[in-house]
Structure 1
Amino acid sequence: MTMLSAGAALIAVMLPMAGVPALAEPEALCRVKDDRLVEISGLVADGDGYVVVNDGADEESGRKIFYLSRNCKVTRTVSFPSKPQDTEDMARGADGTLWIGDIGDNDRERETVGLWRLAPGAKSPTLFRLSYPDGAHDAEALLVAGDGTPIVVTKDPLTAGVYVPEKALDEDATVPLRRAGDFRIPVTTTDNPYGFKGRFVITGAATSPDGKRIALRTYADAFEIDVEAGGAADAVVKAIGDGSPRRIALPNEPQGESIAYTPDGTALLSISEMADGADSVDMLRYPLPDAPAPLATSSPTTAPESKKANRPVAAGQSDEGGIPVGALAAGIGLAVAALLLGLLIARRRTR
């Protein structure tokens, strides 16, 4: 057994184990083929089409808010009034306001992060600056609660931080954030280009049209969580920390960072960054099961039951079975240290 396997066994005991979802093949709705959109990192559904932003686009032509038709063709763009640093996610408020999370920080050196707000009918977005109370964080996930409060979920491995503004946003002053909660990322075995590491960082988030559900995604899976009626910020934070996530496998996307609900709330939409050498990428629709089973939670004394014999396997999904708990034998301290070091290195290399 390798050090990585031993570390995986320990994490399986410490974190929730992902239950087996009712799997269905995703539907390719349309294909984005535009050289300005090679690093899509944020997505929302908007009427009959979509709105997307790039992940810290190097080219000026990519540093815009892009409106797409239902066929994934660019119909118009909105420019930022100043250069964003690293736009990583989008959210749509109940009133139609678009929020863009300028929250990426691979090197964890930014003193402030930003939120861009584009109100319905506005010609240009407004920038708000925020600061963390506990040092810089890389983040790629943004939610907007039913009361209009933006919520940032960090890309910290294993346990993501959940941050909300301490007070109302002010375009003339930096507003401090506070750490309001955490999300312990469930263990899964879903195939993705980053392997084990890709299952333990949050890369995007979405709120259902009725505000009663949220979804957080990794490079491999989405986790849907119910929210109390009204969906105020406190309710969303509580759901993230205490809810029972339902897993929707998103296997083998080239670099999956975007997630959104369809306008009717019956499915999740996902679009990846383009793979190296590719000139297009598909918008995928993942149907949500009517009554998905909640995730089972493991404990230090009871290992998660292996469901390899009965589990349905979608194309591209791993059928690895349960993670062995018996691997918690000699050398576990060294194994965990090696695993955490690998995660720290990986989170600097992947966005």
Structure 2
Amino acid sequence: MKKLIYCCLIFFLTGCSNYGQLTFVAKLPKAIKENSGIAYFQGNKAWFIEDHGNKDEIYQIDFNGKILKELKIKHAKNNDWEDLAQDPNGNIYIADIGNNNNKRKDLIIYKISNPEKEKGDKIEAEEIKFYYPEQKEFPPKKSNLNFDAEALFFWNDYLYIITKNRSEPFSGKALIYKVPSKKGTYKAQLVGDFTPCTTDHLCQVTSAAISPDGKKIVLLGYGFLWIFSEFNTDNFTTGKLTTIDLGATTQLESVCFKDNNTLLISDEERANTGRNLYSFSIN
């Protein structure tokens, strides 16, 4: 009976969630219940964005769940911000690449300087515009709905975009594109593809990150991690793949590296679940 009561208490306190292998860090503020991207610099704090229809802002939040700073991105619009990436110089890239219906022709990535150094409440952004040359119809047929994307990371002066498969019937295949990490308008270059698995929803890629030493690339899904190592080409999927079932049942939406072996992961709020920050070791 005591065990049952304990389990019920945990069930209530965690919002009817199953965190699986994830370690709970903090409950995130209600202001970012639809958080979709995360970036880490130092200390017990990180930067977050929200997705479709929310404010054109980036938020610094500590590991107690308190908002420390809000920065408005000047001359930017949150059509569907889906991920954050950062480069070794501290620049942040905001991926306005959400494209649920595969209809968009205005895909863009906003580049801002290190937000931790900004003293005001607004920050300038450069625009990196791009398109997928393989997409000929807007939208394409249901069997080719593979031009939505929620995952972005920086590597060797390029930004890598991993698409989120919405095809019917579901094939699971994600396309991997790259574009230069500087202001301009580009034709995205297809460098490879990856089929994590073929179970609808569970096998969609929702975020991506690369370790500070550049030796590991992580793709996040709804309960899974796909970790690539031992790669040496643009098509990192030719490297070693490790698949981890996190055992989590919440809507996991963003991942970044805290150090070479520790991940920060967050989820959106759905009903009584989510809106949390977690950590996970990949030693």
Task: Pick the TM interval, shorter chain.
Answer: 0.7 to 0.9
Cross-structure match for 1:251? 247
TM-score under structure 2 length normalisation:
0.78
Give how far 1:248 is off: 2.4
Alignment partner of 1:152 out of 150, 156, 161? 161
Asked if 1:282 corresponds to 2:282, the answer is no
Cross-structure match for 1:91? 85
Q: Distance in 1 between matches of 2:181 and 2:38?
A: 25
- Opposite residue 164 of structure 2, the aligned amino acid is K
Count of aligned pairs between the two proteins: 241
Asked if 1:126 corresponds to 2:126, the answer is yes
CA contact (8 A) 1:130 1:176 kept: yes
Asked if 1:170 corresponds to 2:165, the answer is no
Asked if 1:239 corresponds to 2:236, the answer is yes
Q: Distance in 2 between matches of 1:217 and 1:132?
A: 22
- Opposite residue 35 of structure 1, the aligned amino acid is K
Alignment partner of 2:221 out of 210, 218, 222? 218
Identity %: 23
Give how far 1:150 is off: 0.5
In structure 2, runs of 5+ residues without a counterpart are 1-19, 139-146, 166-170
Q: Distance in 2 between matches of 1:79 and 1:116?
A: 12
Cross-structure match for 2:17? none
Q: Distance in 2 between matches of 1:245 and 1:257?
A: 21
Alpha-carbon displacement from aligned partner over 1:139-192 (angstroms, at most 9, x marks no partner): 0000100x2210111002511101112x66434xx21112111112146xxxxx
CA contact (8 A) 2:230 2:240 kept: no
CA contact (8 A) 2:176 2:194 kept: yes
CA contact (8 A) 1:198 1:220 kept: no
User: Which of the two has higher C-alpha Rg?
Assistant: 1
Cross-structure match for 2:60? 67
- Opposite residue 152 of structure 1, the aligned amino acid is I
Q: Distance in 2 between matches of 1:128 and 1:273?
A: 26
CA contact (8 A) 1:164 1:180 kept: yes
TM-score under structure 1 length normalisation:
0.64
Alignment partner of 1:273 out of 261, 268, 276? 268
Give how far 1:285 is off: 1.1
Give how far 1:254 is off: 2.1
Cross-structure match for 2:200? 197
- Change in Cα spacing, 1:224 to 1:128, as seen in structure 2 (3 Å) is same
Q: Distance in 1 between matches of 2:270 and 2:22?
A: 18
- Opposite residue 163 of structure 2, the aligned amino acid is T
Greater RCO (CA < 8 Å, at least 6 residues apart): 1
Asked if 1:52 corresponds to 2:52, the answer is no
Asked if 1:114 corresponds to 2:108, the answer is yes
Cross-structure match for 1:345? none
Runs of 4+, deviation exceeding 4 Å: none
**What's the RMSD between the two structures over aligned residues?**
2.0
In structure 1, runs of 5+ residues without a counterpart are 1-23, 188-195, 229-234, 290-351
Give how far 1:227 is off: 4.5
Cross-structure match for 1:31? 27
